[in-house]
Structure 1
């Protein structure tokens, strides 16, 4: 059964659970921040994703991601970074009061800290968004009902020189495969939103540390 995470009670529960992490991390220096947009699409709760432009430089071009980017010295904190980047990438204005809190940080291969920020953006018509074509090739949503189905969940085991190193979640059978750090953040989000429904294969994804 899909939890009513967008109810007032569900929002209060999530805000309460995130309060400690938010207070501890929102003003701490980080390399980047992303927004995890929880939305309603055709009446169903969903997460909003972007497909990064294939014309971008770097190894993340063409990857599925959440809207976000590098922290700017002018940003007040990581929440403002996530909201600013979402506005610049998608033309989507998210008021700060719709932010529920900060999820636990993740780390890329260079050990840079990336902070996910969860916000409820309400009913959303994807056609109303104005993605920046220099940064985003496509915007799509995945309903929570889809993400919570076990047949759409997988794991990838990574080895180096023949030795097991770490395992990351993968979400399958949507418009695009969700993997890497974006899948880890998705897993964190599902654990928060649907603790009685989401049953990951692992106790938690182990990220590379070096």
Structure 2
């Protein structure tokens, strides 16, 4: 975990997103959302609740908690924030700071998503994310040549990909270091 970064200076694009980690007895799950308006505002491919830092936000944690309330109607007290992960960047160099927060027992059906920003809310149990058959990688080409590889999580209600999958992978490495091991070496390239 890293110290809480301040919002980026004017002229730079930064955002933050909450990874709400509900507890359900001994098992936990990672909540996710998908929204048409969401992808346009936050480069997290329709994933975790979050958005761009406002000038009035104290720091990226405040941004993430504010956006979570605006998008899901979920109030996460600041004392439930576990910490922040290293920022991830999209292809346009926009920065997204993942914020881990415990939200206690949570039923996605009990949330009040903002229909202007969120189409659907769903949860994936950690046990699902840790199963090898639900993990994969997507290889991207640029101008006909291999460019980069990103993780993807499969077989849930929706495919989890893009920056959402990258943030999920970082979180799994932190929460379940013995149980989750990325299977693709960074130098491995797709075949065929």
> Match of 1:40?
23
- What is aligned with 2:181? 199
Q: Which ranges in structure 2 are unaligned for 5 or more consecutive residues?
A: none
Aligned with 1:118 (options 92, 97, 100): 100
How high is the TM-score relative to the length of structure 1? 0.81
The 5-angstrom pairing of residues 8-27 of structure 1 reads 18=1, 21-23=2-4, 26-27=5-6
Contact 1:169/1:205, CA 8 A, preserved across alignment: no
Give structure 1 stretches of 5+ with no counterpart: 1-17
Q: What is the CA-CA distance between 1:44 and the residue it aligns to?
A: 2.8
Are 2:168 and 1:186 equivalent residues in the alignment?
yes
Q: Is the 8 A contact 1:51 1:136 kept in 2?
A: yes
Could you say what the CA RMSD is over the residues aligned between the two structures, in angstroms?
Answer: 2.3
Alpha-carbon distance in structure 2 between the residues aligned to 1:181 and 1:41 = 26
1: distance between equivalents of 2:187 and 2:19?
Answer: 18
| 1:115-158 CA distance string (max 9 Å, x none) | 10000111012222100000001111000000000000000111
- Work out whether residues 152 and 159 of structure 2, in 8 Å CA contact, stay in contact via their aligned partners in 1: yes
Q: Tell me the matched-pair count.
A: 183
TM-score (norm 2): 0.88
